[in-house]
Amino acid sequence: MSETVGGIFTSHVPGIGAAIAKGLQQDPYWKPFFDGFAPVHAFLEREKPDVAVVFYNDHGLNFFLDKMPTFAIGAAADYRHEDEGWGIGGFKPFVGHSALSWHVIEQVVGDEFDPVTCQSMLVDHGVCVPFELCWPNAQAWPVRLVPICLNTVQHPLMSPRRALALGRSIGRALESWPGDEKIVVLGTGGLSHQLDGERAGHINVDYDKFCLRNILPDPEALTGHDTLDIVELAGSQGVEILNWLAARGALTGSVRELAHNYHVPISNTAAATLLAENRARVAV
């Protein structure tokens, strides 16, 4: 019987990948962010998950505007990164888990969601940077990947309520998976940041703290805003919180925060890391 051991939520700023490549983890600018990963590393060392189900958004590597799914589920035997246009790279390839991917697809379609399914899919820094952060010394990734890509690029976006419901549907799929794997769920991106417009550089510490305080115990609190409210509060790219909400939904057991780290700024972003354990609910 499989077990979902917990969730890891983290920013995925591409510059983090460049900092890792340059070995800047102890540099005064970067250290307050990287130090937030010590509890994550201890957790992963203890739990040793076999599979990572990753909620993220593509930034123009696999998907272009000619065909833009509201969400897509990877169902490939393997995945890889490619050149995103500005030079970060060298990311290790990923082994997929197509049987689990199809099990997830069956569940979400059964729950009346309508995914795009991808038997071939490139994954960008939204997956690669969090993997580098979680397993910094791995020669090869110790987990198999099920990537779930949400559109956060082209409006209208999935509503926060829908993202949470999608995550819960995927959580039910993970609960009913008959394999014996240990599964970890990742939600990547955020928190507040805005790259475009005269308001570029916008950060909203109050909104970010609201998200960090509520997403585990009361994720519905985050669904009181629609996607344009989130753009206004958290900035154009702060809508990546949708990935966190979906990932939170996939933790269907008893959830408890183990650690969080919030640091402003990393590049133009309020960077955050949140670690949660997920335990089976006790049956009567």
Partner 1 sequence: MLMTRSRSASAQRTIPGTPVFDGDAAQKGLALNAMCYSFNSADNRAAFVADEEAYMARFGLAEAQREAVRRRDVLGMIAAGGNVYYLAKLAGILGLNVQDLGALQTGMPIEDFKAALLAHGVTERSVAS
Residues with catalytic function: 125, 193
Stretch that binds partner 1, among 72-80, 94-102, 108-116, 264-272 (CB under 8 A): 264-272
Cα separation, 184 vs 277, in Å, equals 9
- Phi, psi angle pair for 56, to nearest 5°: -155, 180
Q: Which is nearer to partner 1, 48 or 199 (CB)?
A: 199
Read off the DSSP letter of residue 219: G
Beta-ladder partners of 7 = 185, 276
Q: How far is the CB of 99 from partner 1 (least distance, A)?
A: 31
**Is residue 60 close enough to count as binding partner 1 by CB under 8 A?**
yes
Q: Which amino acid is at 201?
A: G
Read off the DSSP letter of residue 92: P
**Is residue 82 close enough to count as binding partner 1 by CB under 8 A?**
yes
Q: Is 244 helix (H, G, I), strand (E, B) or coil?
A: helix
Q: How far is the CB of 163 from partner 1 (least distance, A)?
A: 17
Q: Which amino acid is at 18?
A: A
Structure tokens at 108: 């979400």
Q: Which is nearer to partner 1, 23 or 85 (CB)?
A: 85
Stretch that binds partner 1, among 48-56, 94-102, 179-187, 191-199 (CB under 8 A): 191-199
Q: Sign (positive/negative) of CA torsion 277, 124, 91, 202?
A: negative
Stretch that binds partner 1, among 3-11, 106-114, 164-172, 256-264 (CB under 8 A): 256-264
**Is residue 261 close enough to count as binding partner 1 by CB under 8 A?**
yes
**Is residue 195 close enough to count as binding partner 1 by CB under 8 A?**
yes
**Is residue 47 close enough to count as binding partner 1 by CB under 8 A?**
no
Q: Which of 15, 69, 142, 179 binds partner 1 (CB under 8 A)?
A: 15
Q: Is 38 helix (H, G, I), strand (E, B) or coil?
A: helix
Residue 175: how many CB atoms within 10 A of its CB? 17
Closest by CA to 32, choosing from 267, 268, 266, is 266
**Is residue 205 close enough to count as binding partner 1 by CB under 8 A?**
yes
Read off the DSSP letter of residue 77: S
- The residues of the shown chain that bind partner 1, judged by CB under 8 A, are 15, 32, 35-36, 39, 59-61, 64-66, 82-87, 153-156, 194-203, 205, 209, 226, 228, 231-232, 235-237, 256-265, 267-268, 270
